[in-house]
Each structure stands twice: as C-alpha cells, then as structure tokens.
Structure 1
Amino acid sequence: MAATKSLAPGSVPPSRPTKEQLFKTHKTHLESQDLSPDAPRPVKQPILAEAYPASTRSIRDVEIIPLSELRVEKHHRGQGIIVKVISPPFIGAGAVSIVEDEFGNVEKLAIYNQGDASILSGVPEGCLVAVKEPYYMHSGGDSDYMICCDHPSDVILLRFNDPIIPESLRLGPLLKSAADWRSAGDKAFLEKDFPTAVFCYAEAIEACGDDAAFKAPIHTKRAGTNLILGRYDAAKADALASITGGPGDWKAYYNAGRAAYGLCEYAASKEFLDKALQINPSGTGVRKQHERCLARLREEEHGDYNFGAMLASLSPQHIHLDRGSFLRNTRVAESKHHGRGLFATRALQAGDIAFVEKATLMPNQYEPSRASAALYAMMVRQLCDNPSLAQSVLQLYAGDSLERTGAEGTIVDGVPVVDVFLVEGIRTKNCFSAPLSTFEDTKPRSPAGRMAKGLWAHASYMNHSCVPNTMRSFVGDMLISRATRAIAEGDEIFQQYVPVNALLDLRTAVFKDNWGFECSCQLCVSERRSPRDKLDARKKALAAIERTGTKKPAAGKGGGAIATDATIRHMEKLAKQLEDLHEPDIYDALPRLALIYPCDWLVDAHRARKNHAKVVRYALQVLRNFGFNVPSGEADAADDSWDPREIYTTSGDASLMTVHIVLALRRLAEAYRALGQRDSAGRCIEAAQFGYTLVTGFENDSRVLE
C-alpha cells in the first residue's frame, strides 16, 4: 500500500473525493453503526496540547467561502461556510454527514460535543447549517479530509427562511403555515423526538407573526418540551413568554417555577410558584412543587439534613438527590495562597459543617475508565443547554496554558460560546472523584475503584493543604465538608486535593504536574528546611521498610503467617532508624507521614500476637505521626487520665485527619479493654465515633471498619 501523502498546512488539496465516492464510503459506515438505545456513545475528549479557541464572531460578520477554498490543517479565521446536509448522519463520537455548498462542492462534516437536546447531535438530511471559522483537517488516507467542529457553538442550525442562505440552497418553508409547524411539533412530541418538536414549535412561533393568542400556547408546549430535555433556561423563558394575563397563567408560573428549580434557583422558583398558587390555590401539583421548594430553601438557610435518609435513598440508579446546598458558613474571596479561596463567615468547631453542596454537574458513571469522559461531555452539553451555568462554571481555574477570549458563555447567533478545551481544562483542575457514598466506601469489603467524577463549583474554590482544616465526604451527588479542628471567623478553609504522599519530593511533583503550584502549607514549608541528605535518607529508609512490610505481612493477611518476633524486632529497628531521621526542631508539632506505615504495620503485628501494651504504644504513635497530641512513651501511655476525645481540639493547626485515625482509636480501645482500662477504652470508642463522623460526613457506627 502506498504511503499517505501529507500536505503542508494551509495547502489546498489537489483532489477531493467525488460526491459518489463520498456517498459510497459513507454508506458503508452507516451500515455498521449501532443505534440501539443501550449502545454506549463514545466521547471525543480534547487534547489540551492541541487547543484552539472557539469562534466568537457571528456568522453574519464573517466572509462566506466555498468548500473548494478550504485549506488543510487551517482554522479559517474570519471566514465561514453555509452548507446543506445531503446524507443521514453516521453517529459515533460525533455526527458525520455529507454536506454540499451552493456551488455543488461536497465534503464531510464532523460535528462533536452536541447534547441529546440538540438536533445537531444527529443533524437530519436536508437541514442547513453554518460553520464559523471552520477547521479543515486531514482525517486518514490520501485525499481524505473533513470539516471538524469541536466547539459546539461553531456550528449553527439555520432556519429554512434565514436570509443568509444562498438562493441555490434555499428550499423555502417546508410547511405552509404556523398551524402546520405546530402540528409537526405535536407529532414529533408524541413520537418523543423532543429536539425536533422544539425546532418545529420555533418555526410555528416565527411563522405566526404578531398573533399573540396563537403564540402563547406554543410557548407553553415548548416550555414543557424543554423541561423534558433539561433545557431549563429556555423552558423558563418560554414559560414567561406564555403569560397572557388570564386564569390559565398559573401553568406559565408553574412551568417557570419548575425550570428555576431545575437550575437550583430556589428563591426564584418560590416566587413563581407563589404566583401560580395565587391563581390556582387548589392545584395539587403546584402545591407539591411549592413544598419541595420550601424544603430546599430551609436546607440552604439552616443546613438541616437527614443524611441517614439520604444514604438510604441512594442506589446505583439514583445518585442525584433532591437537596439544596448549604453555603452560608463560607464565602469566596482572594487568597494569599493561590488566587481565590473559601473563607469562614463564622467560627467553626471540630465537627461543624463548613458547607454542604449539591453537585453542579455529576454524571452517573462509576466506571473509572469512563468517568472523566462522562463528566467532560456533561459539562459541555449542559453549558450549551443552560447558558446560565456559565456564571458558576466558566470562571473556574483552567490552568495557565489556556487563553480566554472573555466571550466564553456569551450568546452569539442564539447559542452560548462554549470552548471545549477551556471546559476540559476546568474539569481537570476542579473535578472531584466521588464514591456512591463515603460511608460505604470505607467498609473493608466495599468494591474497590468505583469512583464517579463530579464538579462542585463552590468547593472548587478551596485551596489545598497537606494538613487541611476540613474533610470532605460524599452522599450521592452531595459533598459534605466538615471542620476537623477549630476555624476562626475569616480564616481560610483548606482541603486535601489528593491523599498526600509521605515524601516531600513526590507530593511536590504531584501538585506541580497537576495544578501548577508549590504547596505552602505548614508541613511542606517546614519540611523544606530539612537538608537534602536527610530527605534522601528518609526516602531510602522508608523504601526499606515498605519492602520488609510487603514481603512479610504483619498479621497473616492474604493467608500468610503471623509475623515472627524476629520480623517484628527488625521492623521496630527500621522504624526507630526512620524516626531518628526526623529533626525534632522541625517535626515537634508536625505530622511525620513517613512513620505512619511502619507504625500501622506494628499495630497489626502486635495485635495478632495479642501484645496489647505494644498495640497501645504503636497506635498512639500512629496518632502522633498524623500530628495529634498523645502521651509520649510507654509510661504515659498507661496513664488512665489521658482523654483521646480531646485530640480534635488540642492538637494545633497541623494535624491530619483520615480514616486511619478512626481505626487506630478502635485498636487502642480494644487493647485498653484487654488491659483492664475500660474507661480509656470507652473514651477511645467515643473519639473514634466522632472521627468517623468527620470521615463519612455524618454520624455512623465505626464498627463497620472491623
């Protein structure tokens, strides 16, 4: 086979396939496509290194050129094309169709990132489209090119009577009257072809001129259809446009209230529903929706949630909870660390809710290999369907490599400008991995690796700290953030972006590579004072410990034997050597993350051999190595006056709360009970229960960890 010849960027192809050749190839693809309802539709995720901006110009402000003037691997800035679709679409990661211009030139057009609510997700044959500043690319073999529309706002579905359409492409109205278009919309609605129904109702509204009596019920129909499609901005606009001043207006306000509710604008929803009830006080549906709205407003005002009931209502098919966001305890402001951050609006104590936020966007996809693509696709499509989301989403940090035009989210040619590369940058810098629930995820027998990806816009403003003062957890699409220690009014609140590595160099690389910052938390700043030889020595010592622990499990895990006395002594020796490599002047009140693994190993090893005093010793060391204040030394460890419940209030500003703290406290309780120190055991259980509330977001029985 001859090698494919590549043209220099900006060249005009010397030859292109004929219409017959394009149709022959296209037919082969059409015969192979799977259009079954359950067929997974792939997503074309953008490669940020290949980013180019979305067009911000109107199709009426660019030069319209013929297809024959398209140049390979070029973004035709200041130019556009108008074409007719002359084939059914091939549906894959996008929709590929054959198109023709007014001069009879033909080409392939690939449209990506259109939502299910848009006709452009599978543009029907006969439709007319405009592409602004098109990108013409080589797509395979010799003479194989196509017009590629990555940005959904770069392609516009034209109305059939749009004056911009060239005369030779103009079909005239397909239907003769507004009534015909209305009937076509009704037919499409009954067939559940909702995007077509919306299009037909739009044509009916345009065709009827100034006939307000005819328009109002069409707006009502289109409002209802847009509600089904989740196009809440459009539904609200249609609902308000259907108001006539008559007794039937209750439905207009009801639809507007439902649309505002879908946008989580509960105060506005209540106002619309109040008006609906004034007109129709006996409306059962209106009253029920009004009660739902009041419940959301109470949650927004008071943060009063029944988390247990929320957890019980979850299922793999039901992850989106009907709840409001409680954000009053925090505000967004400029941070001395990285741009903007979240700050406490009142004093918080350990265990207090900092905020609870419903996901701005979160797909129901817990397969890790698909979760990122699913969130990206949802972000793009929701920004297209509901332009008001731009206010909360598009202002988030997207990395320093992506330039903004300032027009993102603005309406041009009737659609919002959506730059898919900017959206992907925002996703990568701001999304969270979330289990179905943190409570279930902490159980030892919970399925591993089942994580969705979601965007919580308010939480995205939180800056990172390796020793944060809050901890996040999840119940479905609700993110719960609780204070892990006292936070004064006006203080910045922090979270961990990812679980931190024990070694400074490794975690620094993670932050640099993924978010482009150097962590300035108390732990990182202090550890940078360590000489290079000490950092290297700790890295080497930890590697030796991990090799020993992996080769010889502590407590017969995986069917192996319980660790021998010799192995335990060896691990204790290695742990002591690593401890001696931590400078007291640096680590006096800081976590010693490298020591957590060997101390955990020793807790398990001594527990398996029922050496309860040693379990106490090393469980306390686990707490100490996470930065909590505990008795130091074996004599103090036996002191029955120590109260573990106070570690959350007496440990300073550099302690690190994790589920390992809960497990260590339970191991302590078990050992204390075996040693006859029942009061100490009881206090440890109470401390574990409190810690488990921080970990899971609400009160749960920590015995599930056993």
Structure 2
Amino acid sequence: MAATKDTVAAVPASRLSKEKLVKTHQAHLKKQDSSPNAPRPVKQPILSEAYPASAKSIRELEIIPLSELRAETHHRGKGVIVKVVSPPFVGAGAVSVVEDEFGNADKLAIYNQADSSILSGVPEGCVVAVKEPYYKNNGAENDFMICVDHPSDVILLRFTDPIIPEALRLGPLLKTAEDWKNAGDRAFIEKDFPTAVFCYTEALEASEDPTFQAPTYTKRAGTNLILGRYDAAKADALASRTGGPQDWKAYYNGGRAAYGLCDYAESNTLLAAALKLNPTNANIQKEHARCQARLHEEATGEYDFPEMLASLSPHSVHLDRGSFLRNTRVAESAHHGRGLFATRDMKAGELVFVEKATLMPNQYEPARASAALYALMVRQLCDNPSLAGPVLDLYAGADGVYERSGKEGTIVDGVPVVDIFLVERIRTTNCFSAPRATVENTAPSAPEGRQAKGLWVHASHMNHSCVPNTMRSFVGDMLISRATRDIKEGEELFQQYIPVKPLVDVRNERFREGWGFDCDCALCVGERRSPEAVLVKRKELLAAVEKLCNKKLPGRELIPEATIRSVDRLAKQLEDAHEPDVYDGIPRLTLIYPCNWLVAAHRGRKNHAKVVKYALKVLRNFGFWVPDENSVWDPREIYTRSGNASLMTVHVVAALRNLADAYKALGHDEMAEKCIEAAELGYMMVTGFKNDLATLDK
C-alpha cells in the first residue's frame, strides 16, 4: 500500500531530465500501435491498493511544483497544474510528458478515461490540473510518474482559466466565438467528437448572443448524443430553446437523450412537445412511437420474447425494450440491508419483473467480460452523472471493506467524482453473468464459458437464498425474473447469486468471500442442525459416488448391473445419512447427482419403473413434494404443493421429462401428458418464456 502522508516518503534525490523524458517518450511513440481502432486494454484496479478519489475542488488545494512530489505518496490537500508538452502515448492509459510553471518536467499517466473524453489522449499544449496526485516509481531507477487512476482527479482547464499560472498561460488559441464554432464544425466532420464538444464549449463561453448560442447548443447536443453523453445532450437541447417554432429540434434532441437514459416518461413528454410543433416530421413520429412501445412494456410486462430472441446476433445483444418493474418494490429487509418485495400476489411461473441492463457490454469472452463491464461502468458514470445515484448506492461489500467518502457521484469542478475502487467493489458484488440467451444455454451443444457480465440495478437489490422463490434468465441484455412458486403480496423476493453447492459449508464459504454473509435460508438453517460427524459422512459418501461414476452421467450406453448396484448402495447410504427431522421439506442436494445418474442408467436399460422411482427421488431431493412411487398424483401441482424450500433448476425439467417418457412406456399416457405440462411450465421458469422442450436435446 502506498504511503498516504507527505511525511512518510522523501522527495526523490534525482529525477529524469526533461530532455531524457521527451527522448524516451518519442521512442515509445514510434512503437505505438498502428491500429487506432483496436480496443484499448483496461487497467483494472487492484482492491488491495485502494485509495479514495479526491472530492475537493482544485481551487481548495495548495498548488505545489513538481519538484516537491514525494515518491509513493498520495499528496492530500495538494494539487499540481501542468502543461502537456508531448503527444500522448495511448495504451491502457494515456502517458504524456508535462511541465509546470517552474520548468520542472515529469510523466503523467491518466487511466480510466472514456473515449468520449478529450482526457483519454490529452493534446499537446493543453493545461491540466491533477488533484491530490499520486506519485509513484515507474519500475526503473529515477523513473517516476504521476498516476491518475480516478478519472475525476484530473481536470482539463480552459485556456482562459485564471488558476493557470502566468508562465503556462497561452491565452485563447482562437479569438472569436465564431472561430471556435468553426473549429468545432471541422472536428465534427473529422469525427473527432470530444474535440468538437470542447470547441463548442469555448464558443459558448466566448459569446453572450442568444442568436449565436441557440444553434451552438444544438450542435453540442447532437455531438453529445453521438458520444452517449445523454445528460449533457438533454441539458444542451433544452438550453437551445428560443420560444419559436424551431424549438421542435430542442424537444426532439431532448427526447432522444431522455430515451438514451431509459427515462421513457420524460422522453415521451419531450417528443410530444416536438410533435406539437412539427406534427408531420417522420423522425419525430418514429421516435415517439418507439417511446410509446417502451411505456407499454413498462406498464404491462407484455413482450414478444421469441421475436427478441430472433433479433439477437453476435454483434447486437442490446435490445430496445423497456423494464417492467411494477410488481416489485425496494424496501428494508430483515435479512441483509435492502431487498425486493412483491407488490401483489403472483402465481408460480408468472412474470415477476423484466429489466433492461443498466450496463452490459457485448463481450462474452470470460477473460475480457469483467474488464469490459468495469470500463463501461466508469465511462457511463463519468458521461452520465444521473446514473451515480442508483449505481453508487448499491452494496459494495461488508462494512469496513471499503469506506465511502459520501461524495461519490457529486459534481466537483464540473465533473462527477468517480472512485474506481468503489466502482469495482460494486461490480464484483452486484454483477450477473449472462449467456446470450438462457434458452440457448440449456442445450447440450451450447458452448461452455461464454458469459457476458452485466449490471441490473433493480435486480441487484434482491437478496440471496439457496432455495429462492424466483428464477432469472436472459435474452440479450434483458433479465427476466419468474416466480418458481406462489408468492404473496408483501413477500420478500429471493434469487440465487450463484449456483449452490451441495455441501452447506462449501457454499457458505463462497458467500462469505464474495458478499460477506452466511446464508440464513431454510436449507442452510436446516442443514446446520446436522452434527459435524454427519456432515463429514455425507461429504465422504458423495465423493465416493463421484469417484465411482467419474463425475459423469451415463449416455445411452448400457451400464453394467454391478455398477448400478454399487451406485444404488452408496446412494442408499447417503440417503440414510440425511436425518428425517432435519430434511423434512427441504432439499437433499448431495443426493441429486447419484439419483440423476441412476435415472440415466436405468433409462439406458429401459427399466422404466426404476426411472420413475429415481426421477421422483430427484424431484424430492430438489425439495418438491412427491407421492409414493405407486400413488396417483398430479405432477402439475409440484410448484404449488412443495412449501417454501424447493429449488427450481433445469434438472427438475429433465426429471419431469424422464418421468413422462417412463410413464408413457408403462402405458400411463395421462400421467405422461401431465408431466410434460409440468415440464413446460418449469422450462418457462428456467428460460424466461415458453420454449420447446426439444431444445434440451439439441
């Protein structure tokens, strides 16, 4: 951990000269990647090295020369103002040679800036202020640099800012507002949108003429829309109004910006105002109709899920849909902080909510997905400060893991305070892994490990249970939550954070490591009643079964009777190791694998009565109510008769299908049909919407 007080470390006895710095920097520039469109690497934060972002204005800090910077120190209460004297070397960050008013030179490395920001590669000649700079060794003797991790810790100063020392002051590069506007137009044509925004800003600052400002605000609004800076685009659009008939452009751009923020109610209001002024404009009509469709989804929860699935492609997983959340509300929970609660009664299989991702990059490579989400979170929090409230309010780990300043997200020096270490804590404790579509992921042929990482703020408020009453699935960037059993109004809603492990100590160790809690669901509370010796015995028996079966399920091959008898014997011993008083009405997770194995083995031998026996055991071991194997029963009732501790998974669907096949082979056609109906309902819970059970065989 770096030193945090100026008194801890000394000023380096020797630093590289400006000439040496520039020479080395130019050599790096010559080797710079010649592929400007290649994705930039991301410098993800190391949480053990966390330090807070500065929440002070540069005007509150003591400005010091570069020569006073101390090695491995965060200079609290201090700041530096420097001019960039080299082009940037752009990699995971942007490294430039900088100089202060006294002629001292050093390196400045700026990380975590969005491509939409001019600070992602500061042009030569610009003046920047670094707040409470972190000065560190760069790995070689006498080689140091100012490292800016938090994007809000560095500020691009306007050329006329009075805080700039006289020796660094160049004055305005262009003389008139018209010159700046023309420069912005040129940058826009060249698709250098960050520079265009900078120039339009200078133009607006240089003019007080409303007839000049209005169209310039319109230009900046349009540019910010392209950059995805929707907060700024909306503000600029509304600032461009003059009170005349041409204000339709202002309302149109403002409506598009509000739509980009998924604020469809405000978007609808603004677009309706645009339509009133220009009722025949096809673009306004199209945007207004699109907004109306989102409002309908928000109000009704009506979606064409098959059409949504069909519209996905490797290059397009972000669906243009609204979020249906009205069945739920956020409130204080008796379990862990806040939770999600039902606002009405819901039946098993019913839609609980549908949420569009707040943030989800289209990146399904496991090695890159986490970094991509982190980078997107930082960018959007910088570009759209209105996201700060809902995102930064999320759980960031147990108390004391990372202390907040309370000023994260507030605007200081014109930019929101963004603490990258807090962002990373929020990402790791709240993100979900998402396949491109859950229904595709249930097929045996689905590629393993292809999961994106996303943040769904509303869903993040839901607490964990190993035996939850909801199940989530995905279609693109839409999260679908369905009830797995009947839910009463006011009841807290639960989800699984991660697939649960069969052994209570193993799964709770993961919960403690990731989220800082021990699960208090009915399953975990019940299993903790077992003596330690029984827990150990179950662990040993499960390991013996897995070793005997090589941790695989049989295919259609014929398994020797002797092997089946051995597995059956171990499964019986394992079943006997579950105390009836402890496991009454709760799952027996360690029994699921051996019973699934026995279902597959007997299916291969066409022993249909045994398939029925062990498929029923699979359902029982997931916590569902089942009858004696020879009793008459209705499989469609398992979701409503099983109490509050059943566990819904795709394996339950598979067990119901195996039951259907076995019943049909035994001549019980009516039971087979009921099993299929129960499987179809379960498969809808698993995949999010009604799908063909044949997908499970593909």
The two structures have a TM-score, normalised by structure 1, of: 0.97
1:32 CA drift (Å)? 1.8
Distance 1:43 1:475 in 2: 27
Q: 1:214-251 CA distances to partner (integer Å, 9 max, x unpaired)? A: 10000000000000000000000000100001111000
Whichever residue aligns with residue 700 of structure 1, its letter is N
Give 1:554 shift.
4.9
Alignment partners' CA distance in 2, 1:63 and 1:385: 28
Summarize deviations over 1:102-146 as a string: whole Å, max 9, x none: 000000000000001100001111111000000001110101110
- Paired with 1:512 and 1:567, the residues of 2 have a C-alpha distance of 39
Cα distance between partner residues in 2 of 1:206 and 1:550: 72
**Which whole-Å deviations, capped at 9, do the CAs of 1:296-320 have from their partners, x for residues lacking one?**
1111111111111110101111111
CA distance in 2, matches of 1:304, 1:610: 43
Match runs of 1:473-512 below 5 Å: 473-512=473-512
In structure 2, give the amino acid aligned to 1:650. Answer: R
Distance 1:406 1:8 in 2: 27
Whichever residue aligns with residue 678 of structure 2, its letter is A
Task: Tell me if structure 2 keeps the 8 A contact 1:261–1:293.
Answer: yes
In structure 2, distance between residues paired with 1:676 and 1:9: 83
Q: After superposition, what is the alpha-carbon deviation per residue over 1:545-598, rounded to whole angstroms, capped at 9, x for unaligned?
A: 1101107x55357xxx63210000000000000000000001111100000000
Cα distance between partner residues in 1 of 2:676 and 2:670: 10
User: Which residue of 1 is the match for residue 88 of structure 2?
Assistant: 89
1:680 aligned partner: 671
| Paired residue type of 2:480 | I
Task: Kindly provide the amino acid, as one letter, of the partner of residue 528 in structure 2.
Answer: R
For 2:36 and 2:654, the matched residues in 1 are separated by 46
Shift, 1:476, TM fit: 0.3
Matches of residues 96-245 of structure 1 in structure 2 within 5 Å?
96-208=95-207, 210-245=208-243
Q: CA deviation at 1:40?
A: 2.8
Aligned residues: 690
Q: After alignment, is 29-38 or 613-622 more displaced?
A: 29-38
1:610 aligned to 588, 606, 623, which one? 606
- Is the Cα–Cα contact under 8 Å of residues 88 and 97 in structure 1 kept in the other structure? yes
1:667 has 2:658 as partner: yes
Distance 1:17 1:275 in 2: 60
Determine helix, strand or coil for the equivalent of 1:471. strand
Query: Which residues of 2 match residues 429-578 of structure 1 at below 5 A?
Result: 429-550=429-550, 554-556=553-555, 562-578=558-574
Structure 2 segments unaligned to the other structure (5+ residues): 1-5
CA contact (8 A) 2:438 2:687 kept: yes
Which position in structure 2 is the counterpart of 1:4?
A: none
Q: Would you say 1:366 and 2:364 are equivalent positions?
A: yes
Amino acid at match of 2:294: R
Question: Is 1:61 equivalent to 2:60 in the alignment?
Answer: yes
Please say if 1:598 is aligned against 2:594.
yes
2:3 alignment counterpart = none
Please report how far the alpha carbon of residue 9 of structure 1 lies from its aligned counterpart in structure 2 after TM superposition. Answer: 5.0
Does residue 657 in structure 1 map to residue 657 in structure 2? no
Equivalent residue of 2:603, what SS? helix
1:437: how far off? 0.4
Structure 1 position 263 matched with structure 2 position 261: yes
Q: Is this contact kept in 2: 1:602–1:618, CA < 8 A?
A: yes
**Does the CA contact (< 8 Å) of 1:9 and 1:72 recur in 2?**
no
Partner of 2:349: 351
State how far apart, in whole Å, the 1-side matches of 2:352 and 2:416 are: 34
Q: 2: CA distance between counterparts of 1:161 and 1:562?
A: 83
Report the AA paired with residue 679 of structure 2: A
User: Are the aligned partners of 1:556 and 1:563 in contact in 2 as well (CA < 8 Å)?
Assistant: no
**Residues 554 and 517 of structure 1, relative CA distance in 2, 3 Å threshold:** closer
Q: SS of the counterpart of 2:424? A: helix
* Conserved? CA contact 2:464–2:494, under 8 Å: yes
What one-letter code is carried by the residue in structure 2 that aligns with 1:503?
Answer: L
> Structure 1 residue 638: deviation in Å?
3.6
- Spell out, residue by residue over 1:417-450, the C-alpha distance to the aligned partner (whole angstroms, 9 max, x if none): 0000000000000000000000111111011110
Question: How many angstroms apart in 2 are the aligned matches of 1:689 and 1:32?
Answer: 59
Amino acid at match of 1:51: A
Alignment root-mean-square deviation, CA: 1.1
- Contact 2:555/2:600, CA 8 A, preserved across alignment: no
Give 2:252's aligned amino acid.
Answer: Y
The answer on whether the counterparts of 1:554 and 1:562 sit within 8 Å (CA) in structure 2 is no
On the 8 A contact 1:149/1:155 being kept in 2, the answer is yes
Looking at structure 1, the residues matched to 242 and 592 of structure 2 have their Cα atoms a distance apart, in angstroms, of: 69
**1:599–1:618 contact (8 Å) kept in structure 2:** yes
Q: Secondary structure at the match of 1:617?
A: helix
Counterpart amino acid of 1:578? L
State how far apart, in whole Å, the 2-side matches of 1:628 and 1:549 are. 26
Offset from partner CA, 1:28-68 (integer Å, 9 cap, x none): 22122214144231111111111110000000110000000
Indicate if the aligned counterparts of 2:553 and 2:596 stay in contact, CA closer than 8 A: no
Equivalences for residues 249-398 of structure 1 within 5 A: 249-398=247-396
- Cα contact 1:359–1:456 (8 A) shared by 2: yes
1:464 is displaced (CA, Å) by: 0.2
2-side partners of 1:372 and 1:682: how far apart? Answer: 44
Alignment of 1:34-45 (within 5 A): 34-45=33-44
State the shift of 1:510 in Å.
0.5
Shift of 1:8: 10
CA distance in 2, matches of 1:462, 1:34: 44
Name the amino acid aligned to 2:510.
V
- Indicate the residue corresponding to 2:626 in structure 1: 630
Matched letter for residue 261 of structure 1: Y
Residues 654-688 of structure 1 deviation map (CA, whole Å, 9 limit, x = unaligned):
00000000111111111111111111111111111
Structure 2 letter corresponding to 1:519: C
Structure 1: distance between partners of 2:385 and 2:76: 25
User: What secondary structure does 1:248 align onto?
Assistant: helix
CA distance in 2, matches of 1:274, 1:657: 45
Deviations 1:274-299 (A, max 9, x none): 11111111111011100011111111
* SS of equivalent to 1:480: strand
1:239–1:255 contact (8 Å) kept in structure 2? yes
List 4+ stretches of structure 1 deviating above 3 A.
none
Gaps of 5+ in 1: 1-6
CA deviation vs aligned residue, 1:618-664 (integer Å, no higher than 9, x gap):
111100000011123xxxx244x311111011111000000000111
Letter in 1 for 2:654: L
Question: Mean alpha-carbon deviation: is it higher for 33-42 or for 478-487?
Answer: 33-42
3-state SS of the aligned residue for 2:353? strand
Separation in 2 of the partners of 1:37 and 1:527?
Answer: 56
Residue 162 of structure 2: SS of its match in structure 1? coil
Structure 2 CA distance, aligned partners of 1:205 and 1:39? 34
CA distance in 2, matches of 1:120, 1:531: 60
Residue from 683, 689, 695 that aligns with 1:692:
683
Given that residues 8 and 72 in structure 1 are in contact (C-alpha distance below 8 angstroms), is that contact kept between their aligned partners in structure 2?
no
**Identity in percent:** 71
**2:31 and 2:467 mapped to 1: Cα distance?**
54
Question: Is the Cα–Cα contact under 8 Å of residues 94 and 113 in structure 1 kept in the other structure?
Answer: yes
Q: What's the CA shift string for 1:510-533, capped at 9, x where partnerless? A: 000110001000000011111010
Which stretch shows the higher mean deviation, 198-207 or 24-33? Answer: 24-33
Give SS of 2:457's match: coil
In 1, the alpha carbon distance for the partners of 2:402 and 2:290 equals 41
**Could you state the TM-score of these two structures normalised by the residue count of structure 2?**
0.98
Aligned partners of 2:314 and 2:410: how far apart in 1? 36
